[in-house]
Every structure is written in structure tokens, then in C-alpha cells.
Structure 1
Amino acid sequence: MLGKEAGQERPGTNTALDDQHLLMSIAFRMLGSTHDAEDVVQETYARWYALPESARAEIEKPAAWLVRVVGRVCLDHLGSARMRRERYTGQWLPEPLPDDAVWSSVRPSGLDPAEQAALDDSITMGMLVLLDSLTPAQRVAFVLHDVFKVPFAEIASTVGRSPESCRALAVAARRGLGSARKNEADVQGYRAVIKEFKKACQTGELNELIGLLDPHVTARADGGGHVRAALQPIHGAEKTARYLVGSLKKRSELSVEFSTAARRPALVCRAEGVVVAVVSLHVVDRRITDVWVVMNPEKLAHW
């Protein structure tokens, strides 16, 4: 589990930072929020240090213990998060991470290239949005097993179910995620589409922009009540195109640049040098099916 090196020394030694980065990497994929992930990791370490020293000494692989506990705390957090979302102002979106987030690319050792690609893929905006549609138990089982290769026998102690039940949770999650992401463009396809998308938005060419959008496209904006943003999703190509072009016209001072957010090409909008929005897309068969605009300043701190 998590590579042969995981857990050979106690937290507090020179492996502590690596353990912390791994736990943050896991927690963020489960919660979609740096702030929440930090709270969960802090709670996990608090539980570790609350153990008597003799009990800690008996734990053969502390990193494995920490992973189990971080999963358990995330499971509890996911349950309460749904209630908090009901009080959230407008649309809630996951946090778009810049690629230089120090813990976001932490990899268990011994992964083959396909597994490494799956690890990177699990942090994209599209995947995080889909993960948010799963039940808490499905999300924990999928992230721990399919992304971080934790055996179902260990996940069982985290979610309080049998290994067979945990396997079924991961299978159900995998099935739902796979069908929703069928025919998604590769990174090169994303780059080509987002280049045309940026040009059409800035020139105000509605017909060109509509041609890039899927007829059933949905646009969501997350201002978190801190900045003005559409409170409801916008559906349909023409309505979405008009919303995007109109939003840019109202903010003529914005500079829009290409960047990478959460392992996918994205657009970063700045006002007087400060990042005020990150625009991410979901592209299927060279058509944009989803537009996600994160403007909540609390979710742009890493930018």
C-alpha cells in the first residue's frame, strides 16, 4: 500500500512532511477544498498525537494508520459538507489548483505510467465535480482504492463496511464516472478548444462561440457570496455564450491568459495583477459541455 517506503518512520521524523503532503493530496481529492483538506489533516494528526506514546510505538506503519484516519475524517466531513452546501451562496465548485501546489502531485512510489496518469486525472476540475456527485462512502472508496491503491481490506476499517461492500462502492463510483467522462478530449484537444474559446469570448463573436459549445452546455459560476456571480446554472449554448461575452464586456479591465489549472488548460483572469477568476472547461468530441468559473477569492488563494 502507498509504496514500500510509506510508514517506515514515525510522524515527527524526516518523513513527516512527506506524510503530510500525501494526506493533503488524498483529502483534497475527497473534499475539493484546500481549506477543508487542511482542517482534516490537522484533525488526523491531532488524533495521532492524542494516542498514548506506547500505542503509537505499537503501530508498525504510521503512514498507513494516518491514511486510514484521514479517510475516516473525510467521510465524516463529507456528510456535514452537504448540509453546509445548502447554505452556500450560489453554485459551489471545487477549488481549481495551480499545478505548482506542492502536495498536489505527491505520488505513491511504484506506480506505472497508467496509474500516474490516473493520479493526475483525479485532480482535474471535471473529475472533482463528478466526485462531488457520489455518495460520501463511494467517494472515499474510489479515491483510496482507484487513485491511491489502498486495499479494500484497509478501506473497510475506514468506512465501517466489509471489503466486499467497499469493492462494490468503488465499482459503482467507477461506472458512474466512466460513463460521464466518455469521449473526453485529451490535453491537446483541450488546448485547441480553449484557444478558440478565448478568442471568441474576447472578440464577442457569438456565432463562433456558440459553435464551440455543446447545445446542452451548462455554465456555473462560484462567487461564494463574496463577489457577484450567477446564482443559478446557465443552460444551453446561446444563453451561455451571451453570459460569457456579456461578463467580459462588463469587466473591460480584465486580462485573460492561458494557464493550467488542475492538470487541464484553463484561462486565468486578472484585474490589476490580481487573479479574480479561473475558467475551466469540460470538452467532449471538441465541444464544450461544461464551463466552470471560480471567482470566490477564498478558492483563488493559491493563485
Structure 2
Amino acid sequence: MKKISAASAFGIFLACVSVFIWGITFVSTKSLLNDFSAFEILVVRFLAAYLGLWAMRPKRLVLKSKKENISFALAGLTGVTLYQFFENIAISFTTASNVSIIVSICPMFTAIVARIFLKEKCITKSFVAGFILAISGVALVSFNGNAEFHFSPKGDLLALLAGICWGFYSLFVSKINSMKYDIVCSTRRIFFFALIFMIPLALSGTGAEKTSSVFINTDAAFNIKRFSSLANWGNLLFLGIMASAGCFALWNKSCKILGTVKVSAGLYMIPVVTVIFAFIFLGEKLSLMGICGAAMTICGLFISSWKK
């Protein structure tokens, strides 16, 4: 058996940290939804992430060519603005179980995009077998004792679009990593373009209904109340600094070390982490079906990455 190099082990560690923290974000987001709309959380989260990355690395990224901005802009559009927007809005039209299952197909979209555009030979028999086992495990984890799957074309389509967007984000991250720029500065530029692409949504949100996912509350008294809550600030900073600024930088670094397809397989683990922390902090049930699903997901993850 081939030994894992120190660099590969470090890349795996970075990916595991990202997946672990991203799995916990569900708990923070669910708490914040009591006072914020999904779009408000998205804007504050990535604005905090952008400022946090400036604090981490207060130096300007000088590009070799202005054309390279295209890759950064497309990464911000697909992996942050569209992916997060589609995923959050999808939950408004369909069940969380549906969204979790469909979005977990991200690694397969990443492999397909890499095969088409990067000519990577990544769709092997072991990858497909591991994918089938992992997605079956994710289904059990998501249902967690609820053996119902509600078909909602609008919500399910949005969740599917989110998964496709992540596949293209992985493609653009591969291109950005090949430019050999500083990871923190590169991630910050991606977030900059993501925030730019959020402006049209913000303009439409000011006139939206309160029940809308893009609603922006301009009531001064209510804003003072919700932004004076230490719990809200804790969750917003966790989502912005740790889950976005930190984890996106770690994830991009891991992709640079191991390759986007191999790292993306780790996304199967996010629903597993979410279910465990939802059980601990939100009191949600953890059934035998969920435990079996977690085991299947882990096995599928190893099989999809298996090489002779």
C-alpha cells in the first residue's frame, strides 16, 4: 500500500477541518433565521469573511494579467453567490432532506466538470461505486427515521443548480491555484467579487416581503435589537470568520495540494456532521437509520478515493 506523504496528510487535515466546521454551520444558521432572512445572513457572513481575510493578510493581490480576474469573478459568482443563494432559497420550497441529498452530489458534478474541462481521468469504477454508497448513506442520514421524500420541482431544481454551481466553482479554483498566488489573498478576491454580485439581490431585497428569503429589514429599532444580541454576533462571526474566511482558504489550499476532485469527495461528510451537532445542540433525534447512513457515507468516501 502506498504511503501518504506529509503534504497529502496536511491537505487531508485541512479538508477535514473545513468539512467539520461547515457541518456545524447548520446549527448557527438555524439560530440566526429567527432574526435574519437567509440573504441577510449571506451578506453579513461574507462581508465579515472579506474583512477578516484583510486582517489576516493586509496586502494587496497584484495580478500578472487583468484577464485573471475572470477566474476570480466566476469563482465568486458560482461558489459563493449562486451556490449559497440557491441552497438557501431551495429550503423555502422543499424539505431540508431533499436539499441535503441533492446538494451532496457536488463531488460528482466536480468530477464531471473536471473530466470535461480539465481532461482529468477522475471518474473511475471505485469513484462511482463510492458515490452510490455515499449518497445512499447521505439519504439515510437526511431522512434520519423519516421515510418520506417529498418531490418539489422548484426547490429540488434549485438544490440541483447549487450542486452544479459548486462543480464549476471547483473548476475555477483549480485555475486560480495554477496561478500560484497567496491562498488568503486569492480567497479574499473571490469573496470581493461574490459581494459585488450580491448587490443586485440586495437592491431587490429592500422592497421584498418579510416572508421572502431575500428580505432586508430596514427597521432601525429591530436592527438595534438583533445586532445587540451577543448570541447573534457569535453566530455571525463563526459563519463569517471561521466557516467562510478560514474554511474557504483551507479548502482552496487543500484543493491545491490534493486536487479538487479528491477533496470534493469529503463533502459527503457534511450531512453526517450536521446531524450529530443538531442532535447535541438542537435536540433533534438521531435514529438507527441515521447512524447506519453515517457509516455508509464514511465507507463510500474511502471507496471513492481508492486507488490500486
TM-score by length of 1: 0.31
Greater strand content: 1
State which structure, 1 or 2, has the greater radius of gyration over its C-alpha atoms. Answer: 1
Larger relative contact order (CA 8 Å, sep ≥ 6): 2
Q: TM-score, normalised by structure 2?
A: 0.31
Higher percent of residues as helix? 2
